[in-house]
A and B are shown apart, each in its own frame.
Chain A
Amino acid sequence: MNTRVLSWAGVLAVVVLALAVGARPSGNPPTPVARAERIAAELRCPVCQGLSVADSDSPTARDIRADILRRLDAGQSDAEVRQAYVERYGVWILLRPPAEGFGALVWVVPGMAAVLGGGGLVLALRRWHRLRTPEPDPDDRHRVEQALGRPLLP
């Protein structure tokens, strides 16, 4: 028992350690180029079929990328840049729909469904757990023995 617990505690410790070292974001604040890339990935390329500004090589997307960088260099925050584009193109430009009004549903519904489904599953498992195991009656045993072609072990 003790070695079992120790072993799993060891696994957990190693995993946590690895994640603590490896998953930590680097200490420096992100560069304007990195910020621009992140913003571009969340803006819809207005002239493409469902590509983001970051993924598109179209002239429009290239202009927008340059414009984002210009705005960041001018000291605008990420939110301000996004807002500027929403004002120009509408909410439609955001590939990540804002969680407000009707649009909040797209964020909330899957989570709610998962919680409901998971909750239902847990309840069902608990109810099943409380049920007594049914004993096979002689008739059941007889049918299984027939299927096996020989008597069941006692």
Chain B
Amino acid sequence: MTAVVGSAGVALGLFASLLGIAALALGLGRCDDRLLLIGRRAVFLVLAGAVVAAAAMEWALVTHDFSIKYVASNGSLSTPLLYTVSALWGALEGSILLWALVLAGYLVVTVRRFRHRATDPLVAWATLTGLVVAVFFFALMVGPANPFRLLDGPIPLDGNGPNPLLQNHPLMAFHPPILYLGYVGFTVPFSFAVAALVTGRLGEGWLLETRRTTLAAWGFLTVGIVLGGWWSYEVLGWGGYWAWDPVENASLLPWLTATAFLHSVVVQERRGMLRVWNLSLVVATFALTILGTFLTRSGIINSVHAFSQSPIGPALLGFLALVALVAVGLIAWRADLLRSPGRIDSPWSREAAFLGNNLLFATFALVVLLGTVFPLLAEAYDGRQLSVGEPYFDQMTMPIGFAALFLMAVAPALPWRAASGEVMHRRLAPSAWAAALAMVVAVVLGMRGLAPLLTVGLGVFALAGIVRQFVAGTRRRRHMNGEHRLAALARTIGGNRRLYGGLIVHVGVVLFAVAFALSSAFAVERELDLGLGESGELRGYDVTYLGSETTSGGDKTTVSARLAVGRGSRRLGVYEPALSQFRGTTQAIGTPSVRTTLLDDVYLTLIASPNAQADRVVVGVRVNPLVVWLWIGTGVMATGTVVAAWPTRSARRRHPPQLPTEVVAPALGQAAAEVPHVAGAGATPGGAR
């Protein structure tokens, strides 16, 4: 019964998407507004279908309806409720369902935002494109990835339960949905890009209209990726959070192109340039989310030979090819309209710095993409298997990371159009001195190594520049309006939230980068073989074995070791790393126990179960410095994204002038400071003068 309801939901979603496409296409062809409104309404039906399907699946999971194959494979009677609910995104079919649900949600939000312009061809074409994507995902659920397929044969009394790794930590409930909110969100800018190409309205309108959705998607993707790393750190027990695994790389790729887009879009808004490039980045970001799903869901990465057996791989690959073909075709068709006469006056300008940023991020994305698919290419070329792993990615991306940090320190201080040496000196010299002194302090404190020192120096360089901008903005307001310090700060941020939100994101990036560099450079680890009451030491921490216990409950039998952590005479608490054996699996799953402080983490793993006769354990001890700052930095990035993307009433009123930028641009030389919303968006306090 539940399966029937769920299948009906999927069918409704598919049908409504097709109906919407037909209505919109006819309406656009005949210029019939009534049809366009029907098409718009169909989007709500799509969401209704997706909600019914997802709710049916959740109901089936919670009520343990093992007649449904997905529930029998991914649920079990003894699985805790949280992991029963999150089993929706624990395997292929459910994750496609979640994808469709999130997509329908985004489409509804979009058509609601544009409810007063439902008959605008740009909006109609964007809705149509979004619905085409929806058709693809609903069709997957009707065909190769049907979540409501019934089990052949007798209905089992109990299911297999989720993969043991997926029911070990509550982060599993948050990481995939947030990641999907990021992935799927990029469908909206992609749809508008296609709509802009089709309608020929290639000005900056579509960029401005999707700016907030893009930012929100970017923020979700950022948080989703980091939550994945955090989950890996808390669950997998190898002491790290990022392994350049193909699945991780697949999520990083669209993030890189989206980050490039968020920066280069500013150049198009200000100077009317880079139209083709921005369209390409939007298309690439969307295509990479599909490619990522293909790489991680088709099984192609683990083994090339699984490809033909995987039902969903060819469909995703075909869709990817379709996206690429349509986009390239449209861009080629509109080549004349896309040509822009803009130019960049000087390499020492903000816009040139944005180009540098794009070069870095595009190269970064190329490295990650090439490294991820290279084993496949090599095997296809001469049948030789080879690996591309962490040492490759570390070596190739480190210089790009340093260059990006450097650019992040310099670029916000560069004025638009052209910088004079005097201005650059005034804005950068104090931060540069702060950076140099920070490096000296780090060396005096005993920090060694090129990469950590450079990261500290460049991080402080960037941070000092950001502080300078906040101080300068606040001071200007205080002088002009005599406001109180905090009020002036708040209004400075409020007056140009995009700039200051962006700078807050940069603060988070610096925290993240420094934590990343130092935690990987200065982590230490040791294996301790301890008898009862014995201790071992690592970087000033003592770890004492107090005993072990075995608990059986639900699906698993868990052995945990009690370890007292102390430092000198201070006792810091008892920690219990564990090994769990799940029913029906042979390999034990370790659960690390982590003591987190602002300075360092003590990361304990149980390597071998306690030996019953001698009562000895083998534990792994790692001290990882500053790891918590990765999560804090990400929180700061999310905060900055919210500041930049949060809607305001004034944003709705303040529409940009409908003038082609290339006409305005030459005259802006003298008018820059006079046009508030052009000069204000993204300008440094003090402007270009």
Residues of A within 8 A of B (CB): 4, 7-8, 10-11, 14-15, 17-19, 21-24, 26, 41-42, 44, 49-52, 55-57, 90-97, 101-103, 105-107, 109-110, 113-114, 117-118, 121-122, 124-125, 128-129, 131, 133-136, 140-141, 143-144, 147-148, 152-153
Contact = CB atoms under 8 A, between A and B. Distances in A.
13 contacts: A7-B425, A11-B435, A14-B436, A17-B440, A22-B449, A22-B450, A50-B243, A92-B387, A106-B370, A106-B388, A128-B343, A144-B667, A153-B674
B448 interface: yes
A105 B442 CA distance: 38
Contacts of A135: 666
Contact of A22 (B386, B448, B620): B448
A97 B667 contact: no
B671 A143 contact: no
B675 A18 contact: no
Given A110-B363, A110-B370, A144 B396 contact: no
B352 A125 contact: yes
B174 interface: no
Contacts of B389: 42, 44, 50, 52, 95-96
A97 B377 CA distance: 13
B436 A18 contact: yes
A134 B341 CA distance: 10
B439 A19 contact: yes
Interface in B82-139: none
A148 B421 CA distance: 32
Nearest to A136: B667
Interface of B: 237-240, 243-246, 343-347, 352, 355-356, 359, 362-363, 366-367, 370-371, 374, 377-378, 381-382, 384-392, 395-396, 421-422, 425, 429, 432-433, 435-437, 439-440, 442-443, 447-450, 453-454, 457, 590, 605, 607, 620, 657, 659, 663-664, 666-671, 674-675
Given A15-B457, A95-B392, A109 B432 contact: no
Contacts of B670: 152-153
A93 B387 contact: yes
Contacts of A144: 659, 664, 667-668, 671
B64 to A, nearest CB: 30
B605 A57 contact: yes
A114 B388 contact: no
Q: Binding site of A, secondary structure by majority: helix, strand, loop or mixed?
A: helix
A41 B239 CA distance: 14
**Can you list the 3 inter-chain pairs with the closest CB atoms, starting with the nearest?**
A95-B389, A23-B450, A22-B443
A109 B366 contact: yes
A118 B378 contact: no
Contacts of B244: 50
Nearest to B425: A4
A92 B386 contact: yes
A103 B590 contact: no
Contacts of A44: 387, 389
B439 A103 contact: no
B356 A152 contact: no
A110 B640 CA distance: 31
Nearest to A94: B387
Contacts of A18: 436, 439-440, 442-443, 453, 457
A72 B265 CA distance: 54
A51 B666 contact: no
B371 A106 contact: yes
Given A55-B243, A148-B674, A114 B363 contact: yes
Contact of B363 (A91, A113, A148, A152): A113
Contacts of A118: 359
A137 to B, nearest CB: 9
Nearest to A65: B527
B392 A96 contact: yes
B70 to A, nearest CB: 23
A26 B390 CA distance: 25
A138 to B, nearest CB: 11
B443 A147 contact: no
A11 B429 contact: yes
Contacts of A55: 238-240, 243
B92 to A, nearest CB: 17
Given A113-B363, A128-B344, 17 more contacts: A4-B429, A15-B436, A15-B457, A22-B448, A22-B449, A51-B238, A57-B590, A96-B391, A96-B392, A102-B381, A105-B374, A106-B371, A121-B359, A122-B347, A125-B347, A148-B671, A148-B675
B277 to A, nearest CB: 11
B339 to A, nearest CB: 14
Contacts of B238: 51, 55-57
A144 B666 CA distance: 10
Nearest to A125: B347
B390 A52 contact: yes
Q: Which of A18, A133, A153 has the most CB of B within 10 A?
A: A18
A95 B671 contact: no
Nearest to A135: B666
Contacts of B237: 57
A125 B240 contact: no
B430 to A, nearest CB: 10
Contacts of B387: 44, 91-95, 97
A95 B390 contact: yes
Given A57-B607, A148-B675, A106 B374 contact: yes
B338 to A, nearest CB: 16
Contacts of A106: 370-371, 374, 388, 392
A148 B440 CA distance: 51
Given A23-B453, A114-B363, A140 B667 contact: yes
A4 B385 contact: no
